[in-house]
Amino acid sequence: MVTSGSAVEQSPVRRTPIRLSAWRCLRYEVALNGLRILWETVNDFSLWRLIEYPWATRALGVTRGDTVIDIGSGTSSFPHMLAKEGVNVVIVEIEARRVRWQRDKRRATARPGDGDLLPVVADATRLPFRDGSAPFISAVSSLEHIPDDVAAGREIGRVLAPGGIVALTLPFTSSERRSFFAGIRPFRQVARNAFVQEGKPGSFFRFYTDDDIRRTYIEPAHADIVERHAFGRSILNGRYHETCLTRFWRRFVLKDLLLAWLIHPLEERFDRSDPLYVMLALRKRRDG
């Protein structure tokens, strides 16, 4: 019998990490943007996102009540998906119009039980957060568009808490890329593995080698790779995305769901060609 004066030792409550399947991501996308998203996306939701969003959520290992800083969100629905699962999200985006888009989307779709969602105008090369204050950071298909990625990498390392996790997805090459969308879109090479689309200011795009990733993101964060995956090899990229078929890229998203379920796992198991992207979970060392 336990009296009112007794001390009772209680085990800590274990919270279940959040998981987002590709199907669940698609359902959220429809809820956030309407059925039209199924035949023509409005915010770049397509095959790669059906692979990246589930992976990034699992790699972060977040639970309800945790806080994630999401860098370069643009008009991505990923932060809203996390918020719908009870995660608090701070969106860092340099363009004010996109922050307004995120705020408007939040007002239109918020519901009781959601986590907090705060979109802010801020520069990834000068993050407005204290040293070591962020237990979780995500950057999904965003860092490759930042010309001064070295500064962004330093800031991620500065802000990430000891033991914290950052989930990154980055365009990849094992050596050197000399073209991008060759014959499909007019990209001009401006530096080694870096391109700009003609007529589109701000369309900077960079590929990373393993050495680039180590110097730009791993070493500044004093981090270790705890998970690494990839996507977009000779079939999904070489025979689909970076070809004339890319005109279907933002159309008929149900086809992308099937590609994510069926082709992507087979490609990753049997295809050893360079992937278009790598997905990395980095953990900051506690003694760093």
Per-residue pLDDT, 2: 35
Q: Rounded to whole angstroms, how far apart are CA atoms 135 and 124?
A: 17
> Residue 118: its pLDDT value, please?
98
Which residue's structure tokens are 């998906």? 81
Q: Above pLDDT 70, what percent of the chain?
A: 95
**Mean per-residue pLDDT, 30-38:** 94
Higher pLDDT, 287 or 232: 232
Q: Which of 106, 251, 237 has its CA nearest to residue 172?
A: 237
β-strand pairing of 187-191 with 194-197? antiparallel
Under the banding of pLDDT at 50, 70 and 90, the label for residue 287 is confident
Average pLDDT value for the chain: 93
Q: What is the pLDDT of residues 235-266, one digit of tens each?
A: 999 999 999 999 999 899 999 999 999 999 99
| 22-172+208-284 CATH, one of 3.40.50.1970, 3.40.30.10, 3.40.50.150, 3.40.50.11540 | 3.40.50.150
Mean pLDDT confidence for 12-36: 91
Amino acid at 3: T
In this model, does residue 202 exceed pLDDT 80? Answer: no
- pLDDT greater than 50 at residue 144: yes
pLDDT at 13: 57
pLDDT confidence tier of residue 15, bands split at 50, 70 and 90? confident
Contact 129, 156 (CB under 8 A): no
Rounded Cα distance, 97 and 226, in Å: 35
Instruction: Spell out the domain ranges in the chain.
Output: 22-172+208-284, 175-205
